[in-house]
Each structure stands twice: as structure tokens, then as C-alpha cells.
């Protein structure tokens, strides 16, 4: 997968962050809205709650819109979330770099991704006109919530 930078249209930062993290467009905004509604129904939320908000659901599984959308498209991932104002820094030693795509990031109601590509961290923000390289220490900003994402490849794919 290569770097991909889809610019934001409307209030679809979560949608664009998924495509930017995966390096290609995996669904349309119409499909994304449908997945938001399905997720609301699955979790007994008010209908259109997810679609009309910037909910982050930082719970590290496919019960958030990120994992749910990828799963609907046949992309299996595992996730680990780090909330705002965490007390401890995120340490590189705690992050398994094998099969790591990067992370979703949220600050001030906006979501973007930080992609791990060719051993370099890249902020890909749908509101920004360019991709920016950042050091791993970027993840120690405790005002930003992160969900790290790894591809779950089956054993035959890894061999």
C-alpha cells in the first residue's frame, strides 16, 4: 500500500481518515453513512447519531466506525486505543511495528491518520494540503487520542 491523500469534503473526516490510512478509497460516502446507521442500530444508539457527529469510539475493536467500516469491506484489523489526557507516554517498545498501518488521531473533534510507511510516520490530514513526516514522539501529545491499527493477515498471506 502506498501513501494516499484524500482531501476532505463535507463533514467526513472519519471517512477520509479510513481511506488515507488504507492508502486507497475503500468505500463511498453513501456506504459510510450506511455503516454509521448500521453501527448505531447495532449499539442501540439514536439513529443517525454516528453519521451526524464526529464520534471517535476509542475502544480498540470493531465496535467503532473505523473497524466496522473496514470489516464490512473484508479488511480485518486489530486496534489498540489511547485516550486523551492519558497519564503515561506511548512508548515505541509497546507498539508492534509488524503489520502496523498507523493510527487514527482525534483532536478538537477532527479525525485524521498517522500512517507508518517505509519506517517513517506521516500525518495525513484531509484538511491539510500536504503529507507531513513526524517523529514517533508525536504520539506523546496527550491532547490527541489515538487508535493504532494493524492488518490481521492470515497465516498463508504471511508465508
Residue 134 Cα distances to 50, 80, 117, 120, 121, angstroms:
30, 20, 12, 8, 5
Q: Residue 61: what pLDDT?
A: 58
Residue range 62-68: average pLDDT? 80
- Beta carbons of 44 and 133 less than 8 angstroms apart: no
Give the whole-angstrom CA distance, residue 151 versus residue 31: 21
Q: Residue 89: what pLDDT?
A: 86
pLDDT tens string 99-137: 899 999 999 889 999 999 999 999 999 999 899 999 999
Confidence of residue 48 (pLDDT cuts 50, 70, 90): low
pTM of the entire predicted model: 0.87
- Beta carbons of 3 and 130 less than 8 angstroms apart: no
Q: What percentage of the chain carries pLDDT values higher than 90?
A: 43
Q: Domains of the chain, with CATH numbers?
A: 13-158 (3.90.70)
Q: What torsion, rounded to 10 degrees, do the Cα atoms 128, 132, 138, 139 define? A: 70
Strand partners, 112: 105
Q: Residue 87: what pLDDT?
A: 82
Q: Residue 158: what pLDDT?
A: 45
Q: What percentage of the chain carries pLDDT values higher than 70?
A: 84
Element (H, E) at 78: strand 77-82
Amino acid at each position: 500500500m502506498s501513501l494516499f491523500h484524500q482531501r476532505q469534503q463535507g463533514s467526513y473526516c472519519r471517512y477520509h481518515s479510513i481511506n488515507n490510512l488504507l492508502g486507497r478509497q475503500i468505500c463511498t460516502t453513501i456506504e459510510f453513512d450506511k455503516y454509521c446507521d448500521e453501527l448505531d442500530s447495532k449499539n442501540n444508539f439514536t439513529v443517525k447519531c454516528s453519521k451526524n457527529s464526529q464520534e471517535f469510539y476509542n475502544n480498540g475493536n470493531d465496535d467503532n466506525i473505523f473497524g466496522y467500516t473496514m470489516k464490512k469491506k473484508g479488511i480485518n484489523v486489530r486496534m489498540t486505543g489511547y485516550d486523551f489526557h492519558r497519564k503515561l507516554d506511548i512508548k515505541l517498545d509497546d507498539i508492534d511495528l509488524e503489520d502496523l498501518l498507523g493510527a487514527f488521531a482525534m483532536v478538537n473533534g477532527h479525525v485524521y491518520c498517522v500512517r507508518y510507511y517505509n519506517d517513517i510516520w506521516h500525518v495525513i490530514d484531509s484538511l491539510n494540503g500536504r503529507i507531513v513526516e513526524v517523529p514517533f514522539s508525536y504520539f506523546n501529545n496527550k491532547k490527541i487520542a489515538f487508535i493504532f491499527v494493524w492488518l490481521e493477515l492470515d497465516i498463508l498471506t504471511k508465508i
